[in-house]
Chain A
Amino acid sequence: MVRLITHNLLACHAKGCTTNNYPLKFSNVKLALREADFNPDFLRGFLPRIEWDALVQASRERCSTTDLLKQLHHVLLETHIDEGSMTCPNCGHVYPISNGIPNMLLAEHEIG
């Protein structure tokens, strides 16, 4: 159940991994689309916090030019990643996603 909205906020938190640790790269991804209630107020409040490059990279542009908020809603809140993994572009740490829950646990030597 990793939605792209949370992926857009997620950086690697391993020890010493402070630069170029965002966005985490998806691989072997199984996508699922689940409908959610459209909430324009929330999206408007969230707009300034979106990192566009990362979002575009993650969603590979499923674009047409109709209502922007509707599309954002679809991309951010209805697109779920169920299986796969996320890899830190800097340190290469792999965060596996199983059953929609990413495993963010670190090994002892990686704790900052």
Chain B
Amino acid sequence: MSRPELQAPPEIYYGDAEASKYTNNTRIQQIQADMTYRALELLNLPPGEPAFLLDIGCGSGLSGEILDEEGYVWVGVDVAPSMLEVALEREVEGDLFLQDIGQGFGFRPGSFDGAISISVLQWLLNAETSHPTSSPPHRLARFFTTLHSALRNPSRAVLQFYPTSDDQVQLITSIAQKAGFGGGVVVDYPNSKKARKVFLCLFVGDGRAASAAQQLPAALDGDGGAEGKDAKATFEKRRQRESRREKSGKQKVAKGGKDWILRKKELYRRRGKDDVPRDSKFTGRKRRAFF
């Protein structure tokens, strides 16, 4: 199936059905939670000071719940009313706004200690109408400039998103830089197809005022010793196991041969497929060569 952002605008794609499906899916919950924790880690907020955060594209509050748990006070914005309804039902602590981030925020300058956004930015990359304010660069520019002013100096914004191409990453980072942000892209698990996650890590201010200079945090790559065992990308093990098995000489059954046909038929029977032909001495036999 094609990517959701290519199917419909977010406020339509996340209708009532999709909103509850999304929120109740334990796999999505797990992934969202992992990414939220990682985003908080990248945000690098000073410990012991409860911060005031902005959750961009809060949806049904999957990430907001974690912010609650961690003791942050937060404000969430989202463009899909159905998702916000689910968030209301789940009784999240933060304030919710129905807002299109491509239209910009109206928050007073210096309002927030930081901003996170999980799987949202890719939704800004499609033009819904031909109006000039609907073009992705315009929407991105509006988003980043108003976000930049809404954040305190110094502070950070961590935005996780799913780019389809390097051009998209390029576009987003260049517009963010024009809006005054420093920082760049952190790619976790760059070598894993599934666990690979792109975080846009933006800094407001050069950090000279902060105790530690703002420098881009290191990405997780899955084989660093310092990160410990938990840092390994999921699914990496399975891939390794498979490649080991291939190397160990267990030959794959050649496609089209008798063994292959028998195995396939066996498989179909096990799956309960109708009319699988029965095995006989003629199954998969070589035909005589004719002229």
- B107 on the A face (CB < 8 A): yes
Complex contacts, B105 vs chain A, CB 8 Å? 13
Residues 170-225 (chain B) with a chain A CB within 8 angstroms: none
A39 to B72, CA, bound (A): 10
| Residue contact B52 to A46, C-beta cutoff 8 Å | yes
Q: How large is the interface on A (under 10, 10 to 19, 20 to 34, 35 or more residues)?
A: 20 to 34
Query: Is A53's CB within 8 Å of the partner chain B?
Result: no
Q: For window 82-106 of chain B, which residues contact chain A by CB distance below 8 Å?
A: 84-85, 88, 93-100, 103-106
With A1-B95, A42-B73 in contact, do A9 and B103 touch (Cβ < 8 Å)? no
Q: Is A16 an interface residue, CB under 8 A from the partner?
A: no
CB contact between A108 and one of B50, B79, B131 (< 8 Å): that residue: B131
Instruction: Indicate whether B111 reaches chain A with its CB closer than 8 angstroms.
Output: yes
Interface residues of A in 62-112 (CB under 8 A from B): 77, 99-106, 108, 111-112
Closest CB in chain B relative to A108 CB, distance in Å: 5
Query: Which of chain A's residues has its CB closest to B71's CB?
Result: A39
Q: Given A41-B50, A45-B49, A104 and B96 touching (CB < 8 A)?
A: no
Asked if A49 is at the interface of the complex by the 8 Å CB criterion, the answer is: yes
Chain A contacts for B73, CB-based, 8 A: 5, 39, 42, 77
A-B interface contact total, Cβ < 8 Å: 91
Query: Is A12 an interface residue when CB atoms closer than 8 A count as contact?
Result: yes
Known A-B contacts A6-B75, A9-B111, A36-B93; the reply to A104 vs B106 at CB < 8 A is yes
Q: Which residues of A lie under 8 Å from residue B79 when comparing CB positions?
A: 105
Q: How many residues of B contact A (CB 8 A)?
A: 37
Q: Are B96 and A13 in contact, with the CB atoms below 8 A?
A: no
Q: Is A56 an interface residue (CB 8 A)?
A: no
Are A111 and B103 also in contact (CB < 8 A) when A3-B95, A77-B73 are? yes
Q: Say yes or no: B96 contacts A100, CB within 8 Å.
A: yes
Q: How far is the CB of A75 from chain B (nearest CB, A)?
A: 14
In the complex, what distance in Å separates the CA atom of A105 from the CA atom of B48?
Answer: 35
Chain A residue numbers with a CB within 8 Å of B134 are 108
CB pair A11–B52 under 8 Å, yes or no, is no
Contacts of B110 in A (CB 8 A): 49
> Which residues of chain A come closer than 8 Å to B48, judged between CB atoms?
41
**A46, closest chain B residue (CB):** B52
- A11 and B107: CB pair below 8 A? yes
Query: A26 within 8 Å of B by Cβ?
Result: no
CB <8 Å contact, B52 and A42: yes
B residues sitting closer than 8 Å to A (CB atoms) are: 48-52, 71, 73, 75, 77, 79, 81, 84-85, 88, 93-100, 103-108, 110-111, 113, 129, 131, 133-134, 142, 146
Residues of A within 8 A of B (CB): 1-3, 5-6, 8-13, 21-22, 36, 39, 41-42, 45-46, 49, 51, 77, 99-106, 108, 111-112
Chosen A-B contacts, 6 in total, with CB atoms closer than 8 Å, are A1-B95, A101-B98, A104-B99, A106-B100, A108-B131, A108-B134
